[in-house]
Structure formats: C-alpha cells, structure tokens
C-alpha cells in the first residue's frame, strides 16, 4: 500500500495552501480541514492514507484530534504527522504518546514534507 490521499488539518489558510500545493505538485490527492472537529468529520466519509495535523487550533486541538483518531477502531491505522510551530522535544514526545507517527516543526521545507510522506509510505509497505 502506498500513500495516495492526504488530509491536511490546519486552521491557518496559508499553511493549508502551502502543504496542499507541495503535495498536489508531487501527485498526491489532498483534502483539507480547518479544525480538529472538521478533520474528524472528514474521516467519516473518506479514508486518507496520511494526515498532516496542526497542533494549536481553535476548538479541538491537534493533540486531542490525534487521540480521537488513534482511539477509534475505524481510523486508528491512519498515520498522523504533526506539523506545528510547537517543535520542542517535549512536544515530540507528547505527540508520540498521542499516537503520532512523525513531527515536523514549522517553518518546514518541501523536502521535509515529501520526505516524511515517502518514509511513512515505505513503512506501510514494509508492514504489509
């Protein structure tokens, strides 16, 4: 199984568009959501292969949304990668405890985004 479709959850339009643009140019299908709640709602109707999740968002934050995703039988296998300005070690450890598969600190590069998509895709192939 390879990664084809990605869900980007971020309340900041610029960040959403930036990650979306990087992924579209690389040939991935992209869906977006502006909050944790909207992200979870999207998962009721579609099953992305990967989720890029901001942490600090109004309403349900990224940690909470990730907990919901990894605690749900239907969505627990979808890898979540945090993309956040919260990039300290403590954030990465706490993110891992929420079940996240990766953490990219803002500002990020195109290589970092595509690199982690490839890395997680490779992990999924190995697991299958």
Partner 1 sequence: MDLMKQINLLDTESVSPSSTNGSPLAHRYGFKCKHLGLVLEESCGQEVFKDIQICPIPLTNNWFEGVFNLRGSLIPVFDLKLLLFDEKTLGKLFIVIDSGKDTIALRLDYYPELLTEIFPSDCEIGKLENIAVPHSIENYILQIFQHQSDYWLEFDKHSFFTSHSKNINRAS
Decide: is 125 part of the binding site for partner 1 (CB under 8 A): no
Q: With the C-alpha atoms ordered 9, 13, 17, 18, is the resulting torsion angle positive or negative?
A: negative
Q: Which of 1, 27, 45, 88 binds partner 1 (CB under 8 A)?
A: 88
C-beta closer to partner 1: residue 28 or 82:
82
- Taking CB under 8 A as the binding criterion, the range among 1-9, 43-51, 57-65, 101-109 that sits at the site for partner 1 is 57-65
What gap in Å lies between CA 76 and CA 74, rounded to an integer?
A: 6
- Taking CB under 8 A as the binding criterion, the range among 7-15, 17-25, 93-101, 117-125 that sits at the site for partner 1 is 93-101
What gap in Å lies between CA 35 and CA 59, rounded to an integer?
A: 7
Decide: is 111 part of the binding site for partner 1 (CB under 8 A): no
Residue count (the chain):
128
Residue 85 near residue 105, CB atoms below 8 Å: yes
Decide: is 10 part of the binding site for partner 1 (CB under 8 A): no
Q: Which of 29, 42, 64, 106 binds partner 1 (CB under 8 A)?
A: 64
Nearest residue to 68 (alpha-carbon basis) of 53, 90, 87, 84: 53
Residue that is written with structure tokens 């997680």 in the block: 120
Q: 106: which 2 tokens?
A: 């803002």
C-beta closer to partner 1: residue 2 or 85:
85
Which stretches of the chain bind partner 1, using CB under 8 A?
A: 56, 61, 63-64, 67, 70-71, 73, 88-91, 93-94, 97
């Amino acid at each position: 199984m390879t990664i084809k479709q990605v869900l980007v959850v971020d309340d900041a339009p610029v960040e959403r568009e930036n990650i979306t643009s990087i992924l579209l140019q690389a040939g991935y299908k992209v869906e977006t959501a502006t909050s944790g709640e909207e992200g979870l709602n999207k998962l009721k109707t579609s099953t992305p292969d990967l989720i890029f999740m901001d942490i600090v968002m109004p309403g349900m934050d990224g940690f909470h949304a990730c907990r919901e995703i990894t605690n749900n039988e239907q969505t627990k296998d979808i890898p979540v990668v945090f993309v956040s300005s919260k990039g300290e070690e403590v954030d990465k450890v706490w993110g891992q405890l929420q079940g996240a598969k990766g953490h990219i600190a803002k500002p990020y590069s195109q290589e970092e985004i595509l690199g982690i998509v490839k890395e997680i895709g490779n992990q999924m192939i190995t697991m299958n």
